[in-house]
Amino acid sequence: MKDHLEMRRHMDLSLYNSVSYSDRSMTASFLLWDLSGRLVGYQTYNPLGSKNPRNDPHGGKYFTYTHMENREKKVRTPGVWGLESFNPVSDRVLFLTEGVFDAVRLHNLGLSAVAVLANSPKLLKPWLRILPVVTVAVCDGDAAGKQLAGVADSAVYVEAGKDLGDLTERELFSFYTKELSNFT
């Protein structure tokens, strides 16, 4: 799993204190935090799992759990992954991504980014508004991307049919130059 994360997913594991992995079970776990520093959930990743069924803890590629804030209304506590990259004192911009590996690619460019990991990121909107930064959503061109764009100050879109986490180094540099460099 370590090799997979480093080689296939471009992750420098030394940068993160919120990642654990198991070579034996071929899974990785990413801890989710809120802005008060409270652990609110986790996401597991199994590269051998299936994208369908969604959010299946056993056979799925991804499984995300967050604390249930209000059981009656089924409201989950919003949390993000990647806060290690963010310095609220010196950073002027915080990039928002849909997934962990999208945020990793931005971290590799030296950018502050968090993965929201939510089908409905609107719960994050008030949370993000208290930050003294401009938020920029880096979105896929699908419905989830449009929802993510709705919680940020600005939004940019990855080319249709592409995923930020899967871009080649050349494609990533081109995307940075065309879409992100004006924010940095």
Q: Long-range contacts of range 26-32, CB-CB < 8 Å, 24 or more positions apart?
A: 26/1, 27/1, 28/1, 30/81, 30/100, 30/115, 31/81, 32/64, 32/66, 32/79, 32/80, 32/81, 32/117
What does the alpha-carbon distance between residue 152 and residue 160 come to, in Å, rounded to a whole number? 20
Q: Provide the 3-class DSSP secondary structure of residue 19.
A: strand
pTM for the model: 0.91
Percent above pLDDT 90 for the chain: 60
Q: Shortest CA distance to 37 belongs to which of 18, 65, 62, 64?
A: 18
Cis (ω within 30 of 0) for the bond into 126? no
C-alpha angle 37/30/131, rounded to 5°? Answer: 35
**pLDDT surpassing 70 at residue 176:** yes
- Looking at residue 74, its pLDDT comes to 63
- Tens of pLDDT, residue by residue over 52-106, are 767 777 788 999 988 877 666 566 777 899 998 999 889 999 999 999 999 999 9
CB proximity list for 180: less than 8 A, separation 6 or greater: 95, 106, 109, 111, 136, 138, 156
- Tens of pLDDT, residue by residue over 19-33, are 999 999 999 999 999
Asked whether the CA dihedral 112, 63, 6, 16 is positive or negative, the reply is: positive
Q: Shortest CA distance to 73 belongs to which of 28, 123, 110?
A: 123
Structural domains of the chain ordered from first start = 2-76 (no CATH), 83-183 (3.40.1360.10)
